[in-house]
Structure 1
Amino acid sequence: MEANLDLSMTFDSSNATVLHTAASQGHTEVVNFLLEKDSSVAAIASRNGKTALHSAAKNGHLEIVKALLSKEPGIATRIDKKGQTALHMVAKGQNVEVVDELIKSDHCLINMVDSRGNTALHIGTRKGRIQIVQKLLNHSGDHKLVINKFGETALDTAEIYKLSDIAGILRNHGVQCAKFIEPQPTNSARELNKTLSDKRNEVYQQLLRTRQTRKRVRDVAKKLNRMEVDGLNNAINSTTVVAVVIATATFAAIFNIPGHYADSPEDITPFMIFIVSDSVALFISLGVVLVQTSAAVIERQANKQMMAVINKLLCLACVLVSVAFLGLSYIVVREDERWLANVITGIGTAIMVSTLGILCIVLRIQKLASSGGLQPQVDHHTPTDKDILNDEDFEIIDAV
């Protein structure tokens, strides 16, 4: 988690997060750690609509329920795809303390019904949870009079499943059978509130998914930016190494000229060409090294502009080193072997001119394409990271 905070937002095949698993299995320390990193993860629902609170409540993990409610109190009324809240879940378990904790967070939970019209009291009765039923009956509310979609109160459910002990407890608390309860007029306000609650949950889920998508997009953007910065730093390091190599070679060549004067020293033209070209290449390379070692922290755009200038200076330094080498070739050969220097000059000139010519042509084509002078073939597929990086080939070629 310290290395990658995004691990808390990973999902399994059922769209459950790490928090769902930790809450379900009762790993309190893990739950607290995840909530400290990002409490919003508590509101994420799995594919069946259940949050981590549903899982913790069903398994009776009181401390986890408290931790979740303290970070995200609003999830107490969240419902799953069956319309059940965390209180419905705890009614299937055994921990009565969780019942008190949930009702304390929002008392309306005791009257909320699922998609079949069952309250938590119906669920606890059908599951035969005597202590849960007693705890629910100790709280005031309309749940004692609620009739589900099958026309049953909690007492009807107890009698159908032949749970005589629970039926006796229900009667002692005034719960009646549905046939003895006068039909209640439709509570339009309650229906409206339920509809609004459902819509609010749907909107919340959509906003949550949007937030997750934006986060992933930001992560991709950060990775691309990091790749760009790393590439730029690698280019800077490479140019620094090249500049140092050129400076070292040219410095050594000035004070330790290879070979010797084979002919009369009056013919100093080749030597002048060598010494001037070699000296200029030396000071250009030293200037590049000075800039690279002095510019510790600068903006990315300024860094790119600096690299553009440095690349051109290194190109000039390479050309001057080539000229210095060609001039040196006329110094170290004898008069009767001057043809060898001519061959070297011809080969070197051909290589340098062809290299620079091809480079200029490629750069020109890339700049025309980027400015709209050339219409590239339209590709309708979604661009990948490789495609995005290839859009800056001209910068890579320039660096090379």
Structure 2
Amino acid sequence: MDSPVAGNRHQGLIRTRTMEKRDDTSLHIAVRAGDINSAMEILSSTEEQELKKLLSKTNQSGETPLYVAAEYGRVDLVKEMMKFYDLEAAAIKAKNGFDAFHIAAKEGDLEVLKVFMETQSELSMTFDQTNTTALHTACEQGHIEGHLDVMKELLEKVPEIATRADKKGQTALHMAAKGQSVEIVNELIAADNGLLNMVDKKENTALHIATRKGRIEIVLALLNHKDIIQKDAINKFGETPLDTAEKFTQPKIATILQQHGVVNAKSLKKPPPMITAARELKQTVSDIKHEVHDQLEHTRKTHKRVKGIGKRINKMHHESLNNAITSTTVVAVLIATVTFAAIYQLPGQYVDGSDGLNPKDNHKTLGEANIAGNPEFIVFLLFDSMALFISLAVVVVQTSIVVVERRAKKQVMAVINKLMWLACVFVSVAFLALSFIVVGNEKWLAVGVAVIGTVTLASTLGTMCYWVIMHRIEANNLRSIRRSERSSKSLSGSVSVQSDSENDEFKKLYAI
């Protein structure tokens, strides 16, 4: 059965939270919905190997089925599921940094925590990314019903957890001083009164924290231990609790502190504590460590993003090559069709004998073109034929060879493109030669067409050749730089080469 403490809370959760999250398994869904029968059936019917994978499977939020069961207070399911969990799997953390034990402590669910401590007591010492234990969390969340019992249970089972500090150097008493529960503060002091004078990394005691947060009742609870508490404790900012009260405008607390004999730092004979050279060095090393870690993490993320961009550019490059191959094939078929048809659609002057004249009188064969002897026709026939056969060769290659690797595909396309350029030139020459036959005596028309066509084709091919040459020159220069930089041991040089190669590899436009 679900724990009675969490019953009402989980009823509210079911009403207000989305029941499913992305990547939820069937077990996640059953546990979240409180469908105990379905969850038990999944646990009993799944093979052991598959069940271990299922129990360790996380959703988009990094939550395992055990985490969901602990969060929603499914005591019976937690008890059954823990039969299949080892310590490593049970301690899997969600993306919020909490594991199943920690989230149960945060929700104040004592019954669930008891199950965990009976089966895997080591879970009580787990912590999140800020080194915060379940006891820290329970103390900080002390205004929620159930946390006092949770804290008592944790202190009873694992007493040493009381002095465990997080990354800020704060103990459970520091966290409780931020909360609202005087009972939790008293329980912690009863468990270990040495917590009263323990300081965090900023030299703050629990009294400093409670003063800054304005917790009057907790300040009074701490001051009740007048024989133990250190009233003249000064933090790294040179402040006593009274200085802190004045700094954060807490006049009521300031009055209480003065009544209990707490004074300002100026009134004390001893000067504010100075940071020793060793501590300063340690802090500097810690700062450098964190800065280096942040830089490495940023570099890793940047490299990942660059890699992703590179993959997308590669994909675009492959698609561009495939489109170019398709276009080239279509153009080759078109040129072959046009050049083939042009042979059999010459302008008039065929000998056919339909006029009753005897072809032999003209020394002509029936069906023979009267323009066959013209130089223009000979030029047309030769260039038209060469364009036809080049186009057919391109079609045969394109439909017969399948190239997968990008560099090989570029090489094939480079050769085929040059052939298509040649075929276009031959078709153009054939057209111009035929135009001199078609215009008859109006030769100026053919000359005009020849000039326009020659200028257009020459400028186009000249530009394309310029791009090819420039691309080859840049590629050769880059290879020379790579060879020279590879011999150097400079890290910055190698990074620069990599950046240049990435820029050169993906040009916006170049002729193949």
Aligned to 1:17: none
Larger CA Rg, structure 1 vs 2: 2
Aligned to 1:308: 414
Amino acid at match of 1:247: A
1:76 paired with 2:84, answer no
Q: Structure 1 residues 281, 182: CA separation in 2 closer, same or farther (over 3 Å shift)?
A: closer
| TM-aligned CA deviation for residue 283 of structure 1 | 1.0
1:187-198 to 2 correspondence within 5 Å?
Answer: none
Q: Structure 1 residues 147, 223: CA separation in 2 closer, same or farther (over 3 Å shift)?
A: closer
| TM-aligned CA deviation for residue 42 of structure 1 | 7.1
| TM-aligned CA deviation for residue 55 of structure 1 | 8.4
The C-alpha deviation readout for 1:201-225, integer Å capped at 9, x for no partner, is: x999999877665544432222111
Tell me the distance in 1 between the aligned counterparts of 2:91 and 2:427.
76
Q: Of 316, 340, 344, which residue of structure 1 is paired with 2:445? A: 340
| TM-aligned CA deviation for residue 180 of structure 1 | 7.7
How well do the aligned residues superpose, as a CA RMSD in angstroms? 5.7
Q: Of 146, 149, 152, which residue of structure 2 is paired with 1:129? A: 146
TM-score by length of 2: 0.49
Aligned to 1:108: 122
Partner secondary structure for residue 393 of structure 1: coil
Aligned to 1:161: 182
1:292 paired with 2:381, answer no
Amino acid at match of 1:339: W
Aligned to 2:334: 245
Q: Does the 8 A contact of 1:59 with 1:90 survive in 2? A: yes
The C-alpha deviation readout for 1:167-205, integer Å capped at 9, x for no partner, is: 9xx8xxxx982478999xxxxxxxxxxxxxx9xxx9999
Aligned to 2:388: 282
1:60 paired with 2:77, answer no
Tell me the distance in 2 between the aligned counterparts of 1:244 and 1:324.
17
Aligned to 1:90: 104
Amino acid at match of 2:158: G
Q: Structure 1 residues 292, 125: CA separation in 2 closer, same or farther (over 3 Å shift)?
A: same
Aligned to 1:257: 346
| TM-aligned CA deviation for residue 293 of structure 1 | 1.4
1:353 paired with 2:448, answer no
Tell me the distance in 1 between the aligned counterparts of 2:148 and 2:123.
18
Partner secondary structure for residue 257 of structure 1: coil
Tell me the distance in 2 between the aligned counterparts of 1:311 and 1:284.
11
1:317 paired with 2:423, answer yes
Tell me the distance in 2 between the aligned counterparts of 1:270 and 1:127.
101
Aligned to 2:316: 227
Amino acid at match of 2:507: D
Aligned to 2:24: 31
Aligned to 2:491: none
| TM-aligned CA deviation for residue 60 of structure 1 | 2.7
Q: Of 354, 372, 375, which residue of structure 1 is paired with 2:477? A: 372
Amino acid at match of 1:31: D
Q: Which runs of 5+ in 2 are unaligned?
A: 1-16, 29-52, 197-285, 352-368, 479-495
TM-score by length of 1: 0.60
Q: How many residues get paired?
A: 330
1:9-48 to 2 correspondence within 5 Å?
Answer: 27=20, 30-32=23-25
Q: Structure 1 residues 97, 31: CA separation in 2 closer, same or farther (over 3 Å shift)?
A: farther
Q: Does the 8 A contact of 1:58 with 1:90 survive in 2? A: yes
Q: Does the 8 A contact of 1:246 with 1:282 survive in 2? A: yes
Q: Structure 1 residues 327, 158: CA separation in 2 closer, same or farther (over 3 Å shift)?
A: closer
Q: Does the 8 A contact of 1:153 with 1:177 survive in 2? A: no
Tell me the distance in 2 between the aligned counterparts of 1:43 and 1:204.
24
Q: Structure 1 residues 70, 313: CA separation in 2 closer, same or farther (over 3 Å shift)?
A: farther
Tell me the distance in 1 between the aligned counterparts of 2:64 and 2:314.
35
1:141 paired with 2:194, answer no
| TM-aligned CA deviation for residue 31 of structure 1 | 2.9
Q: Does the 8 A contact of 1:156 with 1:178 survive in 2? A: no
Tell me the distance in 1 between the aligned counterparts of 2:107 and 2:115.
14
Tell me the distance in 1 between the aligned counterparts of 2:332 and 2:461.
19
Q: Structure 1 residues 217, 101: CA separation in 2 closer, same or farther (over 3 Å shift)?
A: farther
Q: Structure 1 residues 355, 99: CA separation in 2 closer, same or farther (over 3 Å shift)?
A: same
Q: Does the 8 A contact of 1:280 with 1:320 survive in 2? A: yes
Q: Does the 8 A contact of 1:151 with 1:178 survive in 2? A: no
| TM-aligned CA deviation for residue 331 of structure 1 | 2.3
| TM-aligned CA deviation for residue 71 of structure 1 | 11
Tell me the distance in 2 between the aligned counterparts of 1:355 and 1:143.
83
Q: Which runs of 5+ in 1 are unaligned?
A: 1-23, 45-50, 184-197, 374-379
Partner secondary structure for residue 256 of structure 1: coil
Percent identity, aligned pairs only?
32
Question: Could you say which structure has the greater relative contact order, defined with CA pairs below 8 angstroms and 6 or more residues apart?
Answer: 1
The C-alpha deviation readout for 1:113-141, integer Å capped at 9, x for no partner, is: 86699456656766441795399369733
Q: Does the 8 A contact of 1:110 with 1:136 survive in 2? A: no
Q: Structure 1 residues 244, 112: CA separation in 2 closer, same or farther (over 3 Å shift)?
A: closer
Amino acid at match of 1:348: G
Q: Does the 8 A contact of 1:58 with 1:86 survive in 2? A: yes
Partner secondary structure for residue 449 of structure 2: helix
The C-alpha deviation readout for 1:83-141, integer Å capped at 9, x for no partner, is: 98654442232544542565478523324686699456656766441795399369733
Q: Structure 1 residues 59, 260: CA separation in 2 closer, same or farther (over 3 Å shift)?
A: farther
Partner secondary structure for residue 31 of structure 1: coil
The C-alpha deviation readout for 1:218-244, integer Å capped at 9, x for no partner, is: 322221110110010111111111111
Amino acid at match of 1:161: V
